[in-house]
C-alpha cells in the first residue's frame, strides 16, 4: 500500500513539475515576474500582499491570485487595492498546484502584467513539493509562531528563495528571539535572504518593496526571464 501511494504521488509531482516548467516559460515570455507567498495560516500573507500591491501599483502593473480551502475572504480584501485579483478555492486540498494556477490564469493577458503575486494556501507542509513556475518563492514566519519553526518545517523553508519575518512590531511583546530565528533559518537554508516587516506599523515595508524590485531586475538581467 505504501509503495503504491509513493508511486502515485511521484506521478503527480512529475506531472506538476512539467506543468510548472511550461508556466515558467510562459511567464518569462510574457515578461511577468511571479512571486509566491507561503506560510502557516495567519502569518500575514494577505495583509503583506495588500500593502505590497498598494505600494507597487503606481509604478508597475500588478495582480494577484490567492488560494484558500474555503471562502473568498482574501480575494475580497485584496480587491480593495484596485488591481486584478483571482481566487482559487481548493476545497480539501492543502496547497496550490501548477494546474490550478494555469486554470486561474486562463483568459488573463500575462503581457499586461509586470508582477503577479500568488498567495498559497496557509500551510507549512503541503505547498513545499509543488512548483508553481514562480520566479521567487517567499516564506513568511510571524514572530508569534516561535523561533524554531524553520527546524520543524525544513522542507518548505528549503523550497523558498527568501524569508520574511512578519508582525515584527510584536517581537518584544512575545519575547521573540531574532537571533534564534535567524540561526534556525540559516541552519535549514544557509545564506537565505531574511527580511523583517510589520504590515501594521509599516516597519521594513520599504526595504521589502525595494527587495522585490531588485529581485525582479535581477531575474530579467540574468535571463531567467
Could you give the CA distance from residue 210 to residue 60 in angstroms, rounded to a whole number? 13
Closest to a second copy by CB, 99 or 213:
99
* SS3 of 32-46: CEEEEEECCCCCCHH
Which has the closest alpha carbon to 23: 81, 105, 80?
105
Nearest approach, Cβ of residue 179 and a second copy (Å): 17
> Would you give the binding string for a second copy spanning residues 75-114, x where CB under 8 A is met?
-----------------x-x--------------------
- Interface with a second copy by CB under 8 A: which range of 52-60, 132-140, 167-175, 214-222? 167-175
What is the b/e burial string over 57-87, where b = at least 16 CB atoms within 10 angstroms of the residue's CB?
eeebebbbbbbbeeebebbeebeebebbbbb
187 in Cβ contact with 151 (< 8 Å): yes
Closest to a second copy by CB, 68 or 134:
68
Residues 196-225 that bind a second copy (CB under 8 A): none
What does the binding site for a second copy look like in residue numbers (CB under 8 A)?
1, 4-5, 8, 11-12, 40-42, 68-71, 73, 92, 94, 121-126, 142, 144-146, 148-149, 151-155, 167, 170, 173-174
Amino acid at each position: 500500500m505504501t509503495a503504491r501511494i509513493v508511486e502515485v504521488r511521484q506521478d503527480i509531482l512529475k506531472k506538476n513539475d512539467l506543468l510548472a516548467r511550461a508556466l515558467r516559460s510562459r511567464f518569462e515570455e510574457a515578461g511577468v515576474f511571479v512571486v509566491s507567498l507561503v506560510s502557516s495560516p495567519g502569518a500575514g500573507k494577505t495583509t503583506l500582499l495588500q500593502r505590497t500591491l498598494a505600494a507597487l501599483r503606481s509604478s508597475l502593473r500588478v495582480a494577484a491570485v490567492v488560494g484558500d480551502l474555503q471562502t473568498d475572504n482574501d480575494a475580497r480584501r485584496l480587491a480593495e487595492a484596485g488591481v486584478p485579483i483571482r481566487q482559487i478555492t481548493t476545497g480539501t486540498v492543502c496547497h496550490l498546484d501548477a494546474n490550478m494556477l494555469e486554470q486561474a490564469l486562463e483568459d488573463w493577458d500575462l503581457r499586461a502584467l509586470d508582477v503577479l503575486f500568488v498567495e498559497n494556501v496557509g500551510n507549512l507542509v503541503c505547498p513545499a513539493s509543488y512548483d508553481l513556475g514562480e520566479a521567487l518563492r517567499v516564506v513568511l514566519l510571524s514572530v508569534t509562531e516561535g523561533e524554531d519553526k524553520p527546524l520543524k518545517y525544513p522542507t518548505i523553508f528549503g523550497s523558498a528563495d527568501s524569508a520574511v519575518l512578519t508582525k515584527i512590531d510584536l517581537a518584544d511583546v512575545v519575547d521573540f528571539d531574532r537571533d534564534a530565528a535567524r540561526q534556525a533559518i540559516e541552519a535549514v537554508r544557509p545564506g537565505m535572504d531574511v527580511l523583517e516587516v510589520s504590515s501594521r506599523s509599516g516597519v521594513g515595508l520599504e526595504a521589502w518593496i525595494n527587495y522585490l524590485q531588485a529581485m525582479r531586475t535581477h531575474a530579467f538581467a540574468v535571463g531567467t526571464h
